[in-house]
Chain A
Amino acid sequence: MLTLRRFMALADSFGADLQRWPAESQKEARALLESSADARAVLAQARRLDEAIGAAHRLEEAALWLPGEPDAALARLRSGVAARIAPATPGRPRSVRGQLGWAFSGGSGLLAGPLGWATASGFAIAAGLLIGSLSGTPPASDGLLTLFQTGMQFFAG
């Protein structure tokens, strides 16, 4: 049984619109309204406050929502959220070894295997000779030529 005291408390909280009231109280509230002038007076007072709040609310809405603002706000929200939940793109700098991994990789890399160091030495000497010939500077001494010839004999077997 809904008492007038409880009716007043509910009106103080939820206002005059019985749809907002707890579902289990709505039927009894309607019954009380039919039988009690005090209940009707309470609801009329609550309705006046509701109307004032409604007017203030509309004023707030007018200041808050500019024309087209909801659509623009939703577009900003979607793009902002999409950017923040996008999978992380690792931008970490790759190591030199990582960038030249093809040359050093596992057992199938170009410089792997039993002849790896010999191959590397050959590349190094060949590169040195190429740079030397391009620079146009004559060898500093016959000793370098001797070293090259020794190296070539080594690779020839």
Chain B
Amino acid sequence: MKAGYAARSWPEVTWGVLASQVAGAGSLYMSTPRPYREADDDELVSWSAAGDRRAFDEIVTRHGPFAWRVASRIVPDRLAAEDIVQEAMVRAWHQAGHFDPARARFRTWLYRILVNLCVDQRRRVQLEPVTEGFDAADPSPGAEEVLAASERDVALAAALRELPARQRAAMALVYDEGLSGTEAARVLGVSAKALERLLARARATLRERIQAEHSREDL
């Protein structure tokens, strides 16, 4: 070892040490880049489990927007939703080695982590009723749509936000994200029948709210 170092100039020795340290740091520094964009989720998770942070960044880029949409529907506080998505991604990174593609799709697995965090957050934080505080004159972008909306739409939007977390999650997954009932049930960790009941209760609540609005308008 000493003889080997002595036979080389100091830049060669220094580079040799650096190269060995870099090689040990993980595949991020591999000379041949992996085809991240072309890789499917299972490949990316597999590389991530081996410490490839670039592969995981591709996962975040690919699934981040969906994750944020789902989280922001279940957790109305936008900043809290962002925090939850970030936490879900970090947990996915740490648990990537436990992901088994034979048992679930990656999206289902990730959404399950995410939705569980959202439901937990909703349980911790008691939501304030938004019906009274819904500011139709909010000057932020989007206010025009709020002003133009009927009272029924405003009331129904409020009712959506006030739905119990699991009902709201079921609605977001099936109605907004287009997941099948089977996949949404897996995300929520319930049977297909239980998912149907969650959706039915959510729709029943919304129907009652509409009928209440109609009754109020008729008075």
Contacts and interface: CB of A to CB of B under 8 A. Distances in A.
Interface of A: 9-10, 12-15, 20-23, 49, 52-53, 55-60, 62-67, 70, 73-74, 76-78, 80-82, 84-87
Contact of A56 (B53, B153, B197): B153
A15 B78 contact: no
19 contacts: A12-B204, A20-B181, A21-B181, A22-B181, A23-B180, A49-B206, A49-B210, A53-B203, A63-B140, A65-B142, A70-B65, A70-B68, A73-B65, A73-B82, A74-B64, A74-B65, A78-B60, A81-B57, A82-B53
A77 B161 CA distance: 24
Interface residues of B, number: 52
B53 A77 contact: no
A9 B203 CA distance: 11
A45 B182 CA distance: 25
Interface of B: 25, 53, 56-57, 60-61, 64-65, 68, 72-73, 78, 82, 85-86, 89-90, 93, 138, 140-142, 145-146, 149-150, 152-154, 156-157, 159-161, 174-176, 178, 180-182, 192, 195-197, 199-200, 203-204, 206-207, 210
Ranked nearest first, the 9 interchain pairs of A and B with the lowest CB-CB distance are A56-B156, A62-B142, A62-B145, A13-B199, A13-B196, A56-B157, A12-B200, A13-B200, A55-B153
Nearest to B160: A56
Contacts of A87: 25
Contacts of A58: 145
B142 A66 contact: yes
Given A9-B196, A52-B152, A55-B153, A14 B146 contact: no
A20 B176 CA distance: 11
B200 A9 contact: yes
B25 to A, nearest CB: 7
A144 B192 CA distance: 94
A85 to B, nearest CB: 5
- Interface residues of B, dominant DSSP: helix
Contacts of B206: 49, 52-53, 56
A77 B182 CA distance: 29
Given A13-B199, A74-B68, 12 more contacts: A9-B196, A12-B203, A14-B181, A20-B181, A22-B180, A53-B160, A55-B150, A57-B176, A63-B157, A77-B86, A85-B53, A86-B53
B93 A81 contact: yes
A94 B57 CA distance: 33
B140 A81 contact: no
A85 B85 contact: no
Contact of A55 (B90, B146, B149, B197): B149
Given A13-B203, A59-B157, A64-B72, A81 B89 contact: yes
A57 B145 CA distance: 12
Nearest to B159: A56
Contact of A59 (B57, B141, B153, B196): B153
